[in-house]
Chains A and B, each alone.
Chain A
Amino acid sequence: MRRRPSVGRILTYAILIGGSAVMAYPMAFALMGSLCNLEDFYANPWFPIPFSFYSENYRILFTPEFMARAAIWRWMGNTLVRIVWYTLVTGTISVLAGYALARLRFRGREAVFLYLLSSMMVPGIVYWIPTYVIMARFPGIGGNDWTGQGGTGFVNTFPALLIPGWVNVYFVFLLRQSFYSIPLDFEEAARVDGASTLTCLRAVYLPMLKPVLTVVVIFQFVATWNEYQWPLIVSSGNPKIWTLALGFQRMLFIGAEFKGYPPGSAFIDYPFSFAMAVVATLPLIILFLRLQSYFVEGVKGFALKG
């Protein structure tokens, strides 16, 4: 059968290419802008074109003087440890809780689900101060006595960046819905073969959940990479445990200092702040490009036995 380009197909390409251009515009703008000197940057407000190819904004990050003031690699390490930890913990908990809420039958299942969901409905600002107090007054930690007085608890220590937030309700909900998308026949077939609940989860569900688990990894990675508020509240006094999101703020100021601006005026130099933003965003885009093949592949090569 010969295929000729139909109207629908041309329309598909038009939407995809046009849409992609709109989506790519800001990142391209920032990338080009970051390579401009100020003159080039303001010469063309529609789209900055780096005629002079000004690479100083990036080179500055790799000078020994800059590296000595900003512990980039250490902050990167802290961030990666958090990402791996939170991906594993929230991923495991979401699969287990999602399965329980979608497949197990028990009294009050809907009530438990709504109880979990309700934490998403309370604005985040409500949690910050009490969670800080919980961390600071944790009994027996950081010089605290058993009533939680006397010391600083987990504040300004790395565990404070690993203890809260294990139950990510967004992911629990996502996994619950994904279990609903899988017909019960698959589990029943495995049960006939004598599989236990955990075996079913591992051998039947996990392969089919691969696309959605990839989404969990991507979302958790991006969220932890960008997370700013909680690390700021609980670790600002100890730069050794800072994450990159906190570090970038510091780097913006150091960079402005290196370029000879008076203190506090970093924001005037758009090319430089764009360069920092590009450095902060590119790893995420590379990660996304690499990981998306996992949910593009889908669930091929897995057969229903029974």
Chain B
Amino acid sequence: MLSPILLYYSFFFLLPVIANLIVSFTRWSGVYDKPIWVGIANYKAYLVHPYPLTLFNTALFTISILLIQTTVAFLIAVLLNQKVAGLGLYRALWYVPTLTSSAITAQVFFAFISPYDGILNAILKAMGRPIVIWTISTLWMRTFVIVYSIWRGVGTPVVLFLAALQGIHPEIYEAAMVDGARGRDLLRYITVPLLRPMIVFVLITGMIAGFQIFETVMLITAGGQSSTTSGGGPFYTTNVVLLQIYRDAFVSNKLGMASAGSVITAIILLWFSTTNMRLMSRGQLER
């Protein structure tokens, strides 16, 4: 049952990955020249500014977004699983930012943080405070990237948790209630254990996706536009690994550097996932 799936999968997975691995040991613009073998020079270059900073930013964004987003999503999903008036509408609205195209969301978000005619500065002015040029402040731009990401992305884990909550068979609750379990016991001994596989799923996929954060940073730091060249500011302090890979590949035509970046990303994530294998298999109910 699994082998044809694996065969098809390997074809479209291994070929690109092997090609990428080879290119990562070369210097190649990808346009008119032939690749030149340079050994591990590209990997060494990852130890020099601004590359370590991009790795740090990526880790910072991944961890803060993942922790806040998952907690919020879990609480909201539990709230949405109750019987409240207008439930369908609330459920839909939490997923709307995820559905809405980034062309809209980034523009609207930038209307808030735009330094000169933005809404946040209009509020500060109305309160008689000095305005802040958000776009040159590292702290604020990092905060905005995190806030925007959570706002845009929280819908996905909400939907997943909600589906998992709804997927718990009522008979399991009934059986426990026959045994004398009540309210809080049900949550603790039935809901949370049965939800654990989904929590693990949300954390692992969230980590993998978070480490590949790219579009958000680009849109927020480049004034709501899609621009690989001008994103990541101020002074690289919001630059992330994927954005740097794009810049190496398409702006500075350094395919070797870009490939090395991809390999490093994959290795970090793979290392993280294998060390979390125990956490992952804790999601199993099997005896």
User: Which residues in A have some Cβ–Cβ distance to B below 8 Å?
Assistant: 12-13, 15-17, 19-20, 22-27, 29-30, 45-46, 93, 96-97, 100-102, 104, 110, 112, 114, 116-127, 129-131, 134, 164-167, 170, 173-174, 177-178, 180-184, 186, 208-212, 214-215, 218-219, 222, 226, 267, 270, 273-274, 277-278, 280-281, 284-285, 288-289, 292-293, 295-300, 302-304
Contact = CB atoms under 8 A, between A and B. Distances in A.
B265 A93 contact: no
A130 B19 contact: yes
A157 B21 CA distance: 30
Nearest to B214: A123
A45 B159 CA distance: 32
Contacts of B281: 110
A166 B8 contact: yes
Given A102-B284, A118-B273, A129-B16, 12 more contacts: A20-B94, A93-B5, A97-B1, A123-B212, A125-B242, A126-B259, A173-B205, A178-B164, A178-B167, A222-B98, A288-B92, A298-B167
Q: Report, nearest first, the 9 A-B pairs whose CB atoms are least far apart.
A: A130-B16, A121-B269, A177-B197, A298-B166, A180-B197, A211-B163, A20-B93, A26-B108, A177-B201
Interface of B: 1-2, 5-6, 8-9, 11-13, 15-17, 19-20, 76, 79-80, 82, 84, 87-101, 103-105, 107-109, 111, 117, 119, 122, 151, 155-156, 159-160, 162-164, 166-172, 194-195, 197-198, 200-201, 204-205, 208, 212, 225, 242, 245-246, 249, 258-259, 261-262, 265-266, 269-270, 273-274, 277, 281, 283-287
Nearest to B163: A211
A174 B163 CA distance: 11
A123 B88 contact: no
24 contacts: A12-B79, A15-B79, A19-B76, A19-B90, A20-B89, A45-B119, A96-B1, A104-B1, A121-B265, A122-B266, A124-B212, A125-B245, A127-B16, A130-B19, A184-B286, A210-B167, A211-B163, A212-B163, A215-B163, A267-B225, A293-B88, A295-B166, A295-B167, A296-B87
B101 A29 contact: no
Contacts of B84: 12-13, 16
Contacts of A13: 84
What secondary structure prevails in chain A residues at the interface with B?
A: helix
Contacts of B5: 93, 96-97, 167
Contacts of B76: 15, 19
What secondary structure prevails in chain B residues at the interface with A?
A: helix
A17 B103 CA distance: 25
A110 B277 contact: yes
Contacts of B245: 123, 125
B20 A126 contact: yes
B151, B160, B246 pick with most chain A CB within 10 angstroms: B160
A108 to B, nearest CB: 11
Given A274-B104, A296-B88, A285 B283 contact: no
A289 B90 contact: no
B93, B242, B277, B286 pick with most chain A CB within 10 angstroms: B93
B262 A26 contact: no
Nearest to B261: A123
A299 B94 contact: no
B270 A46 contact: no
Contacts of B88: 289, 292-293, 296
B167 A130 contact: no
A121 B208 CA distance: 6
Contact of A167 (B8, B225, B266): B8
Contacts of B151: 22-23
A288 B92 CA distance: 7
Nearest to A207: B169
B104 A180 contact: no
A134 B11 CA distance: 9
Given A16-B80, A285-B92, A177 B200 contact: yes
A130 B15 contact: yes
A23, A45, A164 pick with most chain B CB within 10 angstroms: A23
Contacts of A164: 12
B101 to A, nearest CB: 5
Contact of B266 (A121, A131, A173): A121
A218 B262 contact: no
Contact of B249 (A110, A125, A280): A125
B198 A181 contact: yes
Nearest to A11: B79
Contacts of B171: 303-304
B12 to A, nearest CB: 6
A281 B166 contact: no
A26 B110 CA distance: 11
Given A16-B79, A27-B104, A110-B281, A211 B166 contact: yes
B92 A292 contact: yes
Contact of A24 (B16, B17, B93, B163): B93
A125 B204 CA distance: 21
Contact of A299 (B166, B194, B261): B166
Contact of A121 (B1, B99, B167, B270): B270
B161 to A, nearest CB: 10
Contact of B159 (A170, A178, A218): A218
A130 B164 CA distance: 37
A292 B89 CA distance: 10
